[in-house]
Amino acid sequence: MGQTGRTMTQSASEIQLHDQIDPARITALNAVLGVGDARAHPFAHQVFFWDAQRADQLGRDGHPRVGGLIPDLGLPRRMWAGGRLEFHAELQLGVAATKVSVLERAERKTGRSGALGVVTLRHEIRQEGTLVVTDWQDLIYREEASGQTVSGSQAAPGDETLCGARTFTTTELFRYSALTFNGHRIHYDRDYAQEVEGYPGLVVHGPLLAQYLMLMAERELGGLAAFSFRAQAPVFDFEQVSFCAKPSAKGLEMWVRGPDGRLCMSASAQ
């Protein structure tokens, strides 16, 4: 493997991370996803560019403490709300890459459930000077849980032309957390998820749900140029969910439906 490093500009408005796109890590990701080839499929960059921090630099939830690129908005509970991706070229295995992350938005608002922080990061990944992926990441920060976290009440569509069901094991959640170097305790620490964040079980990673939708879209469309997704309600490790799609004018309209019919994630693929 090549060198992995972290460089922050003096203004703290940009972070650069450098990594070697190691084929072994792609093989490990594809094994977790049940993919039978050795390609770097869309969104595989999630398992690279680890921002490894010492234990004393982490928050109680296992994420690096805010206050650097992401300002401290005074809200402790973090969740990945969604994102948009543009795929300009295929990630090349064995080739060094650089990810530049920029803060586009950070604001505190008042929503129906109380105060929330809205953060948008833009990540640009390049190899040998060529832009490979542009990835906009939307994060939400919330107040302390005052009871059991509501799972969501919006009904998912039922007019799909393509659908597949799956469940998630604790082993899968742990392995995905390890590969993405995601220390968020809601994905592997059941006591923390239930007692501190108010969830009824372990939370399935939003990016993992999006990854399965992207794999479905790639198979159906023969490739992927752009993808956007929005988390609507959490999925838990004890649930079976459905990954659904139907044709749209530009590609596919997609969603994840919970066992009770709730909309867990909406997405579109081109």
Share of the chain above pLDDT 70, in %: 93
Cα dihedral sign, 35-36-40-41: negative
Per-residue pLDDT, 9: 42
Local confidence band at 64 (pLDDT 50, 70, 90 cut-offs): confident
- Is residue 145's pLDDT more than 90? no
Average pLDDT over residues 25-34: 97
Q: What residue type is 256 in one-letter code?
A: V
Report the range of poorest mean pLDDT among 67-76, 134-143, 243-252.
67-76
**Three-state secondary structure string covering the chain:** CCCCEEEECCCCCEEEEEEECCHHHHHHHHHHHCCCCCCCCCCHHHHCCCCCCCHHHECCCCCECCCCCCCCCCCCEEEEEEEEEEECCCCCCCCEEEEEEEEEEEEEEEECCEEEEEEEEEEEEEECCEEEEEEEEEEEEECCCCCCCCCCCCECCCCCCEEEEEECCHHHHHHHHHHCCCCCHHHCCHHHHHHCCCCCCCECCHHHHHHHHHHHHHHHHCCCCEEEEEECCCCECCCEEEEEEEECCCCEEEEEECCCCEEEEEEEEC
What residues does 240 pair with on adjacent strands? 167
Per-residue pLDDT, 251: 97
- Is residue 60's pLDDT more than 90? no
Average pLDDT over residues 46-63: 90
- Is residue 38's pLDDT more than 70? yes
CA distance 261 to 167: 15
Average pLDDT over residues 183-205: 95
Q: Which residue has the tokens 């108010």?
A: 198
What angle, 0 to 180 degrees and rounded to 10, lies between the N-to-C axes of helices 206-221 and 23-33? 90
Local confidence band at 150 (pLDDT 50, 70, 90 cut-offs): low
Per-residue pLDDT, 62: 85
Q: What is the mean pLDDT of the chain?
A: 91
CA distance 119 to 247: 31
Which value, to the nearest 10 degrees, does the dihedral of the CA atoms of residues 218, 224, 227, 233 take? Answer: 10
Per-residue pLDDT, 61: 86
Q: What is the pLDDT of residues 216-266, one digit of tens each?
A: 999 999 999 999 999 999 999 999 999 999 999 999 999 999 999 999 999
Local confidence band at 11 (pLDDT 50, 70, 90 cut-offs): very low
Report the range of poorest mean pLDDT among 27-31, 141-145, 167-171, 237-241.
141-145
Q: What is the pLDDT of residues 77-112, one digit of tens each?
A: 888 999 999 999 999 999 999 999 999 999 998 877
